[in-house]
Amino acid sequence: MNAVRQLRIAPLKNLLSHFRFLLTLRSQEGRYHSLILFRLSSGLDTHPFNLINGNASHTESLPDNQQLYVMEASCPHLGADMSHAEIEECDTGVVAVCPWHRCVLPAELPVVFPCLYCYRYDFNLKTGKSETGLRACTYDVQVKSDPTDGLETVFMQAPEGGTDWRLVELRPVSEEFADPPPSVASHKTISVIPSVSTTELEPLVPLVDPPRTLMQWAVLILNTPNPTLKVERTRHAVNLFRTGKLALIGHKSPGVPKPPDVPAREDMFLQNTVEPRKLKNRKNHAVMLHALANIEQWAWDIMARFGPTHPKLPPAFFSDFTKMALDEAKHLLAAISPSTPYGSMPVHASLWESATVTSQSLRSRLAIIHLVHEARGLDVNPATIERFRKAGDMETVKVMEIIHTDEVTHVTSGHRWFTWVCMQEGNVDPIAAFREEVKKGWRGDVKGPFNIEDREKAGLTPHFYEDLKGEMGLVPKQVVNNVADNLATLKIGYDQ
């Protein structure tokens, strides 16, 4: 193709571990584009078009680049997540079938809006065409030698409508600790994550009035105090959402449930909540991981709190934050051990004060939680990882590296939706808006040293955060009196 810019994705050998990858692209203008790369199995497999949502069992070679396809990550019909699309071979080629629109309605699924399942939305992976008349964006993929290192590398056609597109996220669909088990009986009680709770767990899915929308699941999870059940409900709900087994997102529905002011916490968690400064000098890896595993539930809260007040939020917003909720669950799974059950060691809840302060504004929530708190994690994590590496604690290093990689994507999502809100408000300058939000919603300097490389990767150039100081006074009593009984009096600061 003439004058078509090719965008580098990754060396081919780096894509042999999984069969699907989520790609996030960002243009110089700050536009985002979410894509999915499908890697069809090679001739070494029994079924040449068998796509597996899991790890590859062996190293493969690809006979030609027709094994690789890139298309938009959302269904053009209703914007549903296509990461769990079924792949089928037909007369016209290979197609991806939207999981929200299948020919056969699962027998176990309660029929709330059966019209969702009346049509089959399948999209040719090469052309994007569908028999429905819709068309998904697809991109030419090539495998060729990278002149910089000589490696066989995957390149894709760059999108139109922007300049200097770059890859800011490459994430396998199936991840260690993250994906839900194939199936869990809805009446089954869960006992996976060590917990100090002595109360009997509820069923995974409530027997009375089970959630049928993503918003109902979000509020249920926020109201679940037991960390074991909270994590398993997260895994279950995200799986239902990704595979199209929820009737609706539900943020536009009448009578959408309201999230709690503070997530439910077990008694032991409340008893061991301390001020962040009391954790800063703790070098014990178990204490540090315990604090990192503290599920603050940003993802579920931002969906449940702001979804109903922002009906124009597209499905991609909920796709990004359900992925983030799954990461939060993964971090708890990775960091907690049988010898240190969750709640048995000191944790802090300082970040929830920031959540309370920003509870009235989506723009403020994205700025303070994702572009200050989580961005600070990008700054401090590398040094922490290196400290444990030098101590020979490679198990903690592995956990920390997973958490750090995920936090880069979390800041990327925060930047993506912060700029979206700015556009919705009349193309407000994101940098000026961010600095304004920090002055209103932060106390003290936004301190370095900064991890400039990872911040820039996530969209935060130095113009966002250099020479920036929050001017927020003491949090008004009426804002925080609903959390005073549960949380210690805390000063907003960095989560280290």
Do 162 and 246 have their domain in common? no
Cα–Cα distance list, 140 to 19, 66, 124, 322, 487 (Å): 18, 10, 13, 29, 53
496, pLDDT greater than 60: no
Do 238 and 322 have their domain in common? yes
Backbone torsions φ then ψ of 239, nearest 5 degrees? -65, -45
- What angle, 0 to 180 degrees and rounded to 10, lies between the N-to-C axes of helices 394-424 and 315-335? 160
Coil, helix or strand for 351?
Answer: helix
Coil, helix or strand for 180?
Answer: coil
Task: Please compute Rg for the chain using Cα positions.
Answer: 23
Do 312 and 392 have their domain in common? yes
pLDDT for the residue 183: 42
**To the nearest whole percent, how much of the chain has pLDDT over 90?**
37
pLDDT for the residue 11: 93
pLDDT for the residue 329: 83
Domain-located, residue 252: yes
Q: 102 is in which domain, residue-wise?
A: 14-42+65-106+118-172
484, pLDDT greater than 60: no
Instruction: Report the CATH number that the domain containing residue 158 is assigned in CATH.
Output: 2.102.10.10
pLDDT for the residue 106: 44
Do 323 and 404 have their domain in common? yes
Domain-located, residue 303: yes
Number of helical H runs and strand E runs in the chain: 14, 13
Domain-located, residue 238: yes
171 — pLDDT class (breaks 50, 70, 90): confident
For residue range 332-385, what is the model confidence (pLDDT) as tens digits? 766 565 555 555 655 555 666 788 889 999 999 999 999 999 999 899 889 988
Kindly state the greatest CA–CA separation across the chain: 67
Domain-located, residue 255: yes
423, pLDDT greater than 90: yes
483, pLDDT greater than 60: no
For residue range 390-406, what is the model confidence (pLDDT) as tens digits? 988 888 888 888 888 88
Domain-located, residue 54: no
Contact status, residue 333 vs residue 289, Cβ threshold 8 Å: no
Nearest alpha-carbon partner for 40 in 141, 135, 121? 141
CA dist 218 and 223 (Å) reads: 9
Asked which of 32-41, 361-370, 416-425, 448-457 is least confident by mean pLDDT, the reply is 32-41
pLDDT for the residue 250: 94
For residue range 256-307, what is the model confidence (pLDDT) as tens digits? 999 998 877 666 555 555 454 544 544 566 666 666 655 557 899 999 999 9
Backbone torsions φ then ψ of 240, nearest 5 degrees? -60, -40
Do 162 and 301 have their domain in common? no
Do 315 and 463 have their domain in common? yes
Contact status, residue 415 vs residue 433, Cβ threshold 8 Å: no
DSSP 449-485: ---HHHHHHTT--HHHHTT-EEE--SPPHHHHTTTTT
Task: Write out 8-62 in H/E/C secondary structure.
Answer: EEEEHHHHCCECEEEEEEECCCCCEEEEEEEECCCCCCCCCCCCCCCECCCCCCC
CA dist 79 and 238 (Å) reads: 16
371 DSSP 8-state letter: I
CA dist 66 and 126 (Å) reads: 9
Nearest alpha-carbon partner for 80 in 308, 324, 316, 416? 316
Mean residue pLDDT of the chain comes to 77
Query: What is the count of structural domains for the chain?
Result: 2
pLDDT for the residue 41: 67
pLDDT for the residue 121: 84
Tokens of 170: 């490459």
Contact status, residue 145 vs residue 151, Cβ threshold 8 Å: yes
For residue range 2-60, what is the model confidence (pLDDT) as tens digits? 456 889 999 999 998 888 999 999 998 888 999 999 998 654 343 333 433 333 433 34
Do 264 and 382 have their domain in common? yes
114, pLDDT greater than 50: no
Q: What is the mean pLDDT of residues 241-249?
A: 84
pLDDT for the residue 492: 36
Do 329 and 454 have their domain in common? yes
Coil, helix or strand for 377?
Answer: helix
pTM: predicted TM-score of the whole model, two decimal places: 0.76
361-370 b/e (C-beta count within 10 Å ≥ 16 → b): bbbbbbbbbb
Do 148 and 224 have their domain in common? no
Do 296 and 150 have their domain in common? no
Domain-located, residue 52: no
Do 452 and 323 have their domain in common? yes
Do 254 and 403 have their domain in common? yes
pLDDT for the residue 185: 46
Domain-located, residue 233: yes
Instruction: Report the C-alpha dihedral over residues 101, 107, 113, 117, rounded to 10 degrees.
Output: 20
Beta bridge partners of 31: none
CA dist 410 and 295 (Å) reads: 14
Domain-located, residue 209: no
Q: What is the mean pLDDT of residues 320-329?
A: 89
- Is 255 or 200 the better-scoring residue by pLDDT? 255
Tokens of 122: 């399948």
